[in-house]
Chain A
Amino acid sequence: MGQTQGPNLLPSGRWGRFKAGAYRTLRYVDAHLEKGIILVAYTACAGIIAFEVGRRFLLDEQVSWSTTVPAYMFVWLTWPGAALAVRMRSHLAFNGVRQNLSRWGQYASMQIDYVLYLTFAFVAVYYSFELVQMHQNNFSSVPGTVDLPSWWFYLATPVGWSLLVLRVFQNAWEDFRAIRSGSDLRMAAGFGSLEG
């Protein structure tokens, strides 16, 4: 059996190489965006606290922001984590009924979820960004610091929810392609995916 000839995806010329590079970069960002934020935020949370506890025991001193910045980083950990869980379809859901629906029933119920995600995300991004602007306009700083702007941390909510919206669109596109091609829809993992 001969090999099927697909479209020529090899880059040709400078423009082709640029496109291929941009595509690779985009794929990398897509795969690692939330993961990078989570790694930095988690490391900061644990690292700052443990380091400052060590300094307290050894040198009898501790910076006052060692309790505020980690708590702020926790928000940077949570919402990108929620976006990642949307992409992985791991959010807690009761899926006993949905799994037994017809393909189109499953597809329709997933579309309802996406509409709800977008509706709530619109409110979440709009009002959390308003909060960011307020902190920015007031030049407010993180408690315990002199000039660390608090809006850097308040940005976690709108950024996290924007990432979540991006993941919702990706999932919706994936579902659309699956329903058109006749392949299986990727369902939420359901209760079995959660730590308790």
Chain B
Amino acid sequence: MNAIFDPGTQLFLLSGLAAALFVLGTPLFLLMGVWVLGAQLIIDFPLASIGSGLFEGLNSFALLAAPLFILTGDLISKGGIARRMTEFSMSLLGWVRGGLGMSTIATCSMFAAISGSNSATTATIGSITYPSLRDQGYPSPFAAATSAAGGVVGIIIPPSILFIVYGHLTATPISELFLAGIIPGLLMSLVMLVTVYVVSRRRGYGQLHPFRVGRVAQTFPGVSIALAAGLIVLGGIYSGAFSPTEAAAVTVVYCLLAGFLMTRELSLRSLPNVILRSGMIVGIIMPLVAMSLLMQQVFAVIGFGAWLGEFISSLGGYYTVLFVSMMIVLIAGTLLESVPNTVILAPILAPVAIKAGVDPFHFAVVFMAGGSIGFITPPFGLNLYVASGITGIPYLQIARAVLPYLWSLLFIWMVIALLPALSVYLTQFAGR
């Protein structure tokens, strides 16, 4: 018996149904799985590939770095290391107008250099710095927005959980991706430091505190614990001592020891809860990765990637492809969270961009920087939600207060897109 619709129309209807269910609130990883199941039935592709894909899609030593860095982030947070980083940067920048805001951004960047998550950065550093920001004359929405914006660099400055996922899905080396993110990540931090300085100076936010060498010296031992962790991660990887996954595992053990023996804020009683919190986040993120790989398999069979590539390429050359990709990432970032954005869009857009002549590492950074800006773009800016959750300030007030940061970040994103050397330059030192 002939089907009423041809396979193409059936796939189109299936995708429409999936989109409707998405709007209705069905969990995304489930939708992706059901779409794959439906598509495989339509194109008559063996369902056994689902059974193997759910295992083999995750069976990767390189991808294992992601859960380990998730755990690192939680250990830094619960082990009191993040608080010490904040105290140090406050002692260093308190004398400048907007210094406390700047120290929030600086601490977020330091935190990002050990962990690899935007929202964890905002949640951890924001909850520490927000009360001080508010007490020192920063309006509450701007104080909350500063924490939300500061966290944006979490997935750009290495290590980055999303770079690991991106590398796994697009077969791009993770060590080089980490290197590619360093300069753009620091530039993003820099423009946010300038933004908080300019805004604070114009509007008279914050109080000035005299610079005291004694205070800096007093807080330095605390931050040295974090610096050592950063050294293990980046030094270990780029000296060739560790792979990214090994560096992540060693950092986990280091953060454990630091939490138990140095800061003494971790205990055997609290440890299982820290591990379980990370475990549930792994259970949320990693199924999306497995489902994305199954979707890619279907895309390859039906020739969707090739079709989309031809379509985008037909619009123009290098700059058109790059610009269209950036627009897609930006729009998707306002609607969706960065993990689904990455698992759905990266495998589709990266090959198209590379075919158009965009350097793979440059595209990865442009993609991820756009995705990270999505963390503070309404209606679904995750960091805005997180900042609202930890401060109690209404979401829309934070969304308005974050605008100066948003414009600065969009500007630097354009610069990063137009100057590939910013992303590519450091990758030449990989493996040396």
Enumerate chain A interface residues (CB-CB to B < 8 A).
35, 38-39, 41-43, 45-46, 49-50, 53, 57, 67-68, 70-72, 74-75, 77-85, 88, 90-99, 109, 112-113, 116-117, 119-120, 123-124, 126-131, 154, 156-157, 161, 188, 191-196
CB of B120 closer than 8 Å to a CB of A: yes
Chain B 264-300 interface mask (CB, 8 Å, partner A; 1/0) = 0000000010011011111111111010000000000
Do the beta carbons of A128 and B61 come within 8 Å of each other?
Answer: no
Instruction: Kindly list chain A residues whose C-beta atoms are within 8 Å of the C-beta of B252.
Output: 46, 50
Q: Is B218 an interface residue (CB 8 A)?
A: no
Task: Tell me, in angstroms, the Cα distance from A123 to B58 when the chains sit together.
Answer: 18
A-B contact pairs, 12 of them (CB 8 A): A70-B61, A74-B286, A79-B54, A92-B284, A93-B25, A93-B27, A94-B25, A94-B336, A113-B30, A131-B52, A188-B25, A191-B337
Which residues on A sit within 8 Å (CB–CB) of B48? 127, 130-131
Residue of A nearest to B154 (CB): A196
Which residues of the other chain, A, contact B63 by a CB distance below 8 angstroms?
Answer: 71, 74
**Contact yes or no, A98 B249, CB < 8 A:** no
- For residue A82, give the distance in angstroms from its CB to the closest CB of chain B: 4
The 4 closest A-B pairs by CB, nearest first: A81-B283, A127-B51, A98-B25, A38-B279
Q: How far is the CA of A35 from the CA of B281 in the complex (A)?
A: 13
Quick one: which of A50, A91, A94 contacts B29, CB cutoff 8 A?
A: A91
Task: Provide the bound-state CA to CA distance between A36 and B54, in Å.
Answer: 21
Closest chain-A Cβ to B361's Cβ sits at a distance in Å of: 21
Look across to chain B and name the residue whose beta carbon is closest to the beta carbon of A117. Answer: B30
Using known A-B contacts A98-B24, A191-B380, A196-B162, determine if residue A92 contacts B50 with beta carbons closer than 8 Å: no
When distances are taken between beta carbons in the complex, the residues of chain B under 8 Å from A42 are 67, 71, 275, 278-279
Whether the pair B24, A78 counts as a contact (CB closer than 8 A) is: no
Nearest CB on A from B265, distance (A): 19
Docked Cα-Cα span, A41 to B63, in Å, equals 15
For the complex, what is the distance from the CA of A3 to the CA of B29, rounded to whole Å?
Answer: 48
How extensive is the interface on chain B, given as a class? 35 or more
Contact at B280–A90, with CB atoms within 8 Å?
yes
14 additional contacts (CB under 8 A) given A45-B249, A127-B52, A192-B385: A71-B61, A74-B64, A77-B67, A80-B283, A81-B281, A82-B283, A92-B284, A93-B27, A109-B26, A123-B47, A131-B52, A191-B380, A194-B281, A195-B117
B49-81 Cβ-contact flags toward A at 8 Å (1 or 0): 011101100111101100110110100000000
Nearest chain B residue, comparing its CB with the CB of A41: B279
**Chain A positions within 8 Å of B33 at CB level:** 120, 124
Task: Determine if A50 and B253 form an interchain contact, defined as CB atoms under 8 angstroms apart.
Answer: yes
Interface set, chain B 22-38, CB cutoff 8 A to A: 22-31, 33-34, 37
B153 at the interface (CB under 8 A from A): no
B79 CB to closest chain A CB (Å) equals 15
Q: Is the CB of A39 within 8 A of B26?
A: no
Q: Are A85 and B249 in contact (CB under 8 A)?
A: no
Contact with A74, one of B24, B34, B58, B119 (Cβ below 8 angstroms): B58
**CB pair A193 B51 closer than 8 Å:** no
Indicate if the CB atoms of B25 and A109 lie closer than 8 Å: yes
**A92-B29 in contact (CB<8A):** yes
Q: What is the CA–CA distance of A188 and B26 in the complex, to the nearest angstrom?
A: 9
A184 shortest CB reach to chain B, Å: 16
Cβ contacts under 8 Å, A193 to chain B:
284
B382 touching A196, Cβ below 8 Å: yes
Q: Which B residues lie within 8 Å of A98 (CB)?
A: 24-25
Is B23 in contact with A78, judged by CB distance below 8 angstroms? no
Q: Are A130 and B51 in contact (CB under 8 A)?
A: yes
A35-B276, A188-B25 given; A49·B249 CB < 8 A: yes
B131 on the A face (CB < 8 A): no
CB within 8 Å for A92 and B242 given contacts A81-B279, A85-B284: no
Q: How far is the CB of A68 from chain B (nearest CB, A)?
A: 8
Alpha-carbon gap, A53 to B155, bound state (A): 26
Given A42-B278, A46-B249, A74-B58, answer yes or no on A124-B339 (Cβ-Cβ < 8 Å). Answer: no
For chain B residues 206-260, which have a beta carbon within 8 Å of chain A? 241-242, 245-246, 249-250, 252-253
Are B34 and A53 in contact (CB-based, < 8 A)? no
Is B140 interfacial (CB 8 A cutoff)? no
Q: How far is the CA of A77 from the CA of B58 in the complex (A)?
A: 10
Q: Are B27 and A195 in contact (CB under 8 A)?
A: no
Contacts of B338 in A (CB 8 A): 196
Q: Which of B11-30 contact A (CB under 8 A)?
A: 21-30
* B375 interfacial contact with A, CB 8 Å: yes
Partner of A82 from the list B60, B73, B287 (CB cut-off 8 Å) is B287
Partner of A91 from the list B27, B250, B282 (CB cut-off 8 Å) is B27
- The residues of A that contact B24 with a CB separation of less than 8 Å are 97-98, 109, 112
